[in-house]
Amino acid sequence: MTLGTRFAASAAASLPSPVTAAGHDAAPTVLEGRGLHKRFGSTDALRGVDLGIRAGEVVAVMGPSGSGKSTLLHCLAGILVPDGGSVRYDGAPIESLGEDARSRLRRTAFGFVFQFGQLVPELTALENVALPLLLNGQKRADAEAAAAGWFPRLGLAGKERRRPGELSGGEGQRVAIARALVTRPGVVFADEPTGALDTLAGEHVMELLTTLAAEERVAVLLVTHEPRVAAYAHREVVVRDGRLSGVGTPDDDARSFQPGSPS
């Protein structure tokens, strides 16, 4: 047993399994890439990757730097168009959507957390969380009221009016998590969300992300090269040279998503 799987066994034990409304079968696959290929010039960044994620599931994508993790995340999120293969969200192929429809899908169905929070520095923490709702057409007062409701859950009550420069790195990432979840997306994509944090702040951020994702029934695709961070996931896969090892599609591994079974 590797260090990573040992951490995973203990951390994942406390993570609830995704459950369907019926409560019997495993949750449905919400996002699925099949046969994904992506080439940059002469670099084959992805060479035939299959990866699916169930509603409410947290999947960690591990692998060395340059192996294709971010490219995979960008293809699954509709940020990059793969050169080959297909991505389905809720059963519908997203490559058949035009740029506008894909952008709308990203705004409404997906949330994003990046390594350096990428909060808007001129806006307060509250305004940063409200921003995705404003972009989706909500009235400012409604958007800010919804955003305010997140701060106690983040452990950041009282810090709503601070700007990103007045928050610690970990606090900023917690704000970024709320911004990713505020639209109630189906999937949150997190690319090295703890990469710029010390161990303790990173653990706090991962606990928050996985707890809130479970409460909101949001799937999380987590890219990380740190085993201790991947340990928070239900399932780990590894990308090497654009290929995936580990269990790529949940249907191949029904074990880990039967409610009540140890994952």
Residues engaged in binding ligand ADP (CB under 6 A)? 40-41, 43, 45, 63, 65-71
* Residue 66 or 260 having the CB closest to ligand ADP: 66
Provide the pairing of β-strand 92-93 with 84-89.
antiparallel
102 binds, among Mg ion, ligand ADP, none (CB under 5 to 8 A by kind): none
The Cα-based distances of 137 to 101, 107, 112, 183 in angstroms read: 16, 11, 19, 11
Lay out the site mask for Mg ion across 67-86 (x = CB under 5 A, - = otherwise).
---x----------------
* Residue 70 or 183 having the CB closest to ligand ADP: 70
Q: Which residues contact 144 (CB under 8 A, 6 or more apart)?
A: 126, 127, 130
In whole angstroms, how close is the CB of 105 to ligand ADP at the nearest point?
A: 21
In whole angstroms, how close is the CB of 190 to ligand ADP at the nearest point?
A: 13
Stretch that binds Mg ion, among 62-70, 126-134, 161-169, 197-205 (CB under 5 A): 62-70
Angle, vertex CA 231, rays to CA 198 and CA 45, nearest 5: 85
Stretch that binds Mg ion, among 50-58, 66-74, 99-107, 172-180 (CB under 5 A): 66-74
Q: What are phi and psi of 98, to 5 degrees?
A: -75, 175
17 forms part of the interface with Mg ion (CB under 5 A): no
* Residue 17 or 67 having the CB closest to Mg ion: 67
43 binds, among ligand ADP, Mg ion, none (CB under 5 to 8 A by kind): ligand ADP
Task: With CA atoms as reference, report the closest residue to 184 among 155, 153, 146, 157.
Answer: 146
In whole angstroms, how close is the CB of 226 to Mg ion at the nearest point?
A: 13
* Residue 41 or 165 having the CB closest to ligand ADP: 41
In whole angstroms, how close is the CB of 68 to ligand ADP at the nearest point?
A: 4
Dihedral in degrees, nearest 10, Cα atoms 32, 229, 195, 152: 90
- Which residues contribute to the site for Mg ion (CB under 5 A)? 70
